[in-house]
Amino acid sequence: MQNSLGSIGTRWHFVRDVEQLVSQALSQVARAAQQALQARGAFHLVLSGGTTPQALYARLHTLDTDWHKWHIWFGDERCLPVHDTARNSQMVWSSWLHDSPIPAQQIHPISAELGAETAAVAYIHKLSEIGLFDLVLLGLGEDGHTASLFPGHAWGTCPDSAAVLAVHDAPKPPADRVSLSAQRLSQARAVLFLVAGADKRDAVAAWRRGEPIPAAAIRLESGVDVVLEQICVAPHEDRK
C-alpha cells in the first residue's frame, strides 16, 4: 500500500484492489472502535451507502469488539418506503445489521419515508444528543459527490449550517433525499473515504487538484483518510 499526503489535509492510501481496500478499511474501523471504547465507553460510527462500503459491512461481523457499545448512524438516505431495497438502511441491514448483536435502540436510521424536511428535522433532534462522531465512513461518486451532497447544491459548509439537510432535485434518483451536512460530517474524530473503480478517476483528479467538489468539503484539523484503488488514478498521474 502506498501512502501520501496530497491535497491539504487529505491522506491518500493507494491499494491494489477492492479486497485490499476492504481489509485496510476493516483494520481502521477496528482501531477506531478500540480507541473509542477504551477512551469513552462507546463507539459512534456513521455509515455510507454504495457498493464499496457494502463489501466492508459484510465483513464487520468478524471484529472482536463489544458490540453492545456501538452506535450506528447514517450519512444520508433516500426518500423511499422503509423496506425499499434501494435505501441505505436496507442495504446495511441485509449486509450486516440483521445478524448483529448491536442493540436496536443504538441503530439510528434516517426516517426518510416521512419526507425530506420532516426527516431532516427529526434527525437533527437525534444528533443533538451526541457530540463528535468517532468515525465517519464515506464514498465518492463519479461527479465528486459524497453522502447526498451533490455539485451545484448546498453542502452545509458554514459553521451555523444545519446538521442535516433536506435534498431535492438530486441528479440521481430518487430526487428527494436527506443528508448530513458537510459541517456535521466534519464533526468527527476520523473520516475515512472508500473509493474504487476507474470511473472515479475524474473525481479523484479534481479532488487532488484542489477543486471544490463536495467530498473535499469534509475537513478535519487532523486530516481525512482516503483508501482508494490504484486504478482510480490514471497511470501517468503521480501517486504522491
CA dist 73 and 92 (Å) reads: 11
Torsion angles phi and psi, residue 58, rounded to 5: -65, -15
Mean pLDDT of 13-33: 97
The pTM assigned to this predicted structure is: 0.94
Flag whether 149 is in a domain: yes
Q: What is the domain count for the chain?
A: 1
Residue bearing cell 500500500 = 1
pLDDT digits (tens, 9 = 90+) for 109-130: 999 999 999 999 999 999 999 9
The answer to whether position 240 is within a domain reads: no
Burial of residue 192 (CB within 10 Å: 0-12, 13-18, 19+) is: buried
Residue 238, domain member (yes or no): no
CATH number of the domain that residue 175 is part of: 3.40.50.1360
Would you say residue 237 lies in a domain? no
Confidence of residue 5 (pLDDT cuts 50, 70, 90): very low
Do the domain assignments include residue 90? yes
Q: What is the pLDDT of residue 65?
A: 98
Report whether pLDDT(179) > 70.
yes
pLDDT computed for residue 3 by the predictor:
38
pLDDT at 1: 41
pLDDT of residue 237: 66
Structural domain containing residue 161: 2-232
202 belongs to a structural domain? yes
Q: Would 215 be classed as within a structural domain?
A: yes
C-alpha to C-alpha distance for 41 and 33, rounded to whole angstroms: 10
